[in-house]
């Protein structure tokens, strides 16, 4: 098996590092990166092959080739069309795209092949703690699905959706989700500071509370609603705080925020897929 990355930015770099950690050899990975400094750093850090052009890309004609499209969404079409000329002379590799908003139908149209899997990771993948939503058309084999899953598991966890439109929901929930968490952390820390805590202490309390509560929920057989009820004593401090949040309709606001993100994801897909 050989994996070629088109693009060696942050997410591509995270994937390369993750794959090497789970046992892939450096000689099984190459990257096409047009930025000389980025290419040089990738070679230095991972001892992988880095080339500057798709024209120099080596395909051995076997079905064991995998190409990970890790370019920016706005650059995807040009990269795919350049790659398509190289695919005609060899067996079509499995294409795994981590470019946001690029639909499988557009991938297939630009690449001239249907062996494509679409992936939507999130930024915690940069430390191996991400979760990636995956979709493939029914024509994609189970073996190819497994390969794509193995690759993306190097970033953390994976989930499959059976309708491509659900990747808009994945984007809204987990793709954009880290930003919601960061915003919550900002507010939690700021609230602590207004109550008299210094910034270092408030930050430590906020971050540790979020991390601990998330791990508790993740390891518990009970759902988040039950856990919330257990920590909320009638007439207590938590009940007073949650009453304010309820009055502010914070849950409805968050649901509206996710809906807006999903709608924007759909619109981006429409825009990026235009001829």
Pairing of strands 130-136, 116-120: antiparallel
Question: Is 70 flagged in the annotation as binding?
Answer: yes
Question: Is 269 flagged in the annotation as binding?
Answer: no
pLDDT at position 87 is: 74
pLDDT at position 65 is: 83
pLDDT at position 63 is: 56
**Residue range 177-265, CATH number:** 1.10.3730.10
Whether 55 shows a pLDDT value over 90: the answer reads: no
CA atoms within 13 Å, Cβ hemisphere of 85: 9
Of the chain, the percentage scoring pLDDT greater than 70 comes to: 95
* Entry pTM: 0.91
Question: Is 44 flagged in the annotation as binding?
Answer: no
Q: How far apart are CA 272 and CA 275, in angstroms?
A: 8
Of the chain, the percentage scoring pLDDT greater than 90 comes to: 84
Whether 30 shows a pLDDT value over 60: the answer reads: yes
Is CATH 2.130.10.10 correct for 2-169? no
The H or E element that residue 29 is part of is strand 29-32
Whether 62 shows a pLDDT value over 70: the answer reads: no
Question: Is 73 flagged in the annotation as binding?
Answer: yes
Q: What is the pLDDT of residues 83-136, one digit of tens each?
A: 887 775 557 789 999 999 999 999 999 998 888 999 999 999 999 999 999 999
Name the H helices within 101-248.
104-111, 142-153, 166-170, 177-194, 199-219, 224-231, 237-247
**In the chain, domain spans:** 2-169, 177-265
Question: Is 257 flagged in the annotation as binding?
Answer: no
Q: What is the pLDDT of residues 166-208, one digit of tens each?
A: 999 999 999 999 999 999 999 999 999 999 999 999 999 999 9
Q: What is the pLDDT of residues 253-269, one digit of tens each?
A: 999 999 999 999 999 99
Q: How far apart are CA 157 and CA 191, in angstroms?
A: 33
Question: Is 6 flagged in the annotation as binding?
Answer: yes
pLDDT at position 103 is: 96
The answer to whether 133 and 167 have CB atoms below 8 angstroms apart is yes
Q: How far apart are CA 146 and CA 123, in angstroms?
A: 22
| Mean pLDDT taken over the chain | 93
pLDDT at position 274 is: 82
Q: How far apart are CA 47 and CA 30, in angstroms?
A: 10
Whether 61 shows a pLDDT value over 70: the answer reads: no
CA atoms within 13 Å, Cβ hemisphere of 78: 7
């Amino acid at each position: 098996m050989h994996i070629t990355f088109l693009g060696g930015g942050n997410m591509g770099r995270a994937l390369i590092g993750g794959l090497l950690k789970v046992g892939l050899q450096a000689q099984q990975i190459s990257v096409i990166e047009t930025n000389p400094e980025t290419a040089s750093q990738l070679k230095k850090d991972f001892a992988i092959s880095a080339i500057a052009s798709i024209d120099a890309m080596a395909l051995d004609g076997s079905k064991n080739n995998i190409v990970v499209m890790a370019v920016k969404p706005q650059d995807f079409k040009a990269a795919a069309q350049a790659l398509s000329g190289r695919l005609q002379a060899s067996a079509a590799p499995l294409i795994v795209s981590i470019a946001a908003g690029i639909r499988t139908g557009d991938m297939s149209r630009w690449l001239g092949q249907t062996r494509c899997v679409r992936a939507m990771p999130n930024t915690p993948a940069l430390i191996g703690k991400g979760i990636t939503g995956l979709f493939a058309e029914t024509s994609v084999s189970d073996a190819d699905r497994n390969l794509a899953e193995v690759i993306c598991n190097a970033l953390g966890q994976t989930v499959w959706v059976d309708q491509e439109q659900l990747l808009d929901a994945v984007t809204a929930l987990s793709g954009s989700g880290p930003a919601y968490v960061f915003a919550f952390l900002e507010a939690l820390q700021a609230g602590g500071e207004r109550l008299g805590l210094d910034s270092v202490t408030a930050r430590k309390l906020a971050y540790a509370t979020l991390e601990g509560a998330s791990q508790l929920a993740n390891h518990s057989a009970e759902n988040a609603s039950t856990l919330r009820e257990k920590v909320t004593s009638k007439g207590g401090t938590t009940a007073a705080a949650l009453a304010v949040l309820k009055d502010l309709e914070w849950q409805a606001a968050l649901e509206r925020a996710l809906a807006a993100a999903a709608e924007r994801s759909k619109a981006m897909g429409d825009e990026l897929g235009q001829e």
